[in-house]
Structure 1
């Protein structure tokens, strides 16, 4: 009985050590991948900085042409970033209904039908298909 208990304890300990090593390897791989992705993101941002600044200026210019208020601009930018009405309300300390009203005003002033058309208005030409 004692031998069986000792064998079982050794078996459990070895299993625990294997699991601990596997977890450590997984954590290391995850940290390395995270660092690689962060470096790639930072490199892309640095190389695209002037383009992004120009895009930001172009978006501001279009918002001026549409005569959007400051609140409508803020909501429109957050919609372009992919946030939902509830998320925008939380981020801007406004009610969801107010955010929805601002979004409707943006769509009316721009002549666009909704969030998808708003995003497409600014992004469609940036995402041209690759030539064969």
Structure 2
């Protein structure tokens, strides 16, 4: 599984852990500085402008940590929603392709070639993946284009993009 940027979950988790560790270090530093201000205040017997400034800086550090945590949580939630939406879109495309291929009456070989073509493979790549000749792939592609009533790869792909962009997919059913 990868994210839209191509990151695998393991490095992403490491970054999250590193950010959380950084926030923990900031929190420890803040606790140290606050205890230092309290100790200095007790030793001096009164609060000075310098100690007020130190306390204000510490409160700013704590506020920064809180904001960092909230932003991190929001970013992680947004990333999870994006990953879920991408997964739904991938599943929707696969479902849509299967439904269209069945409606067009594609043979298993034609459906295989059409799937590779929609994914962006060249004729030579499809031939290599299927262990067949380029002429066979071209024959299958011509049959796919004829059955789909399109003139080429661009129109074939646009059929699927238009269906995916037409609106939400409800209950796994895709328009045809």
Same fold, judged at TM 0.5 (above): yes
Superposed displacement of residue 48, structure 1: 1.6
Match of residue 111 from structure 1: 149
Matches within 5 A, 1:6-85: 37-39=5-7, 45-85=83-123
TM-score normalised over the length of structure 1: 0.61
Counterpart CA distance in 2 for 1:111 and 1:126 is: 19
Counterpart CA distance in 1 for 2:95 and 2:85 is: 17
Give the gaps of 5 or more residues in structure 1. Answer: 1-35
Superposed displacement of residue 98, structure 1: 0.1
Give the gaps of 5 or more residues in structure 2. Answer: 13-78, 167-176
Alpha-carbon spacing, 1:103–1:45, altered in 2? closer, same or farther (3 Å) = farther
- Alignment RMSD (CA, Å): 2.8
Match of residue 94 from structure 1: 132
Counterpart CA distance in 2 for 1:73 and 1:125 is: 18
The number of aligned residues is: 94
Superposed displacement of residue 45, structure 1: 4.9
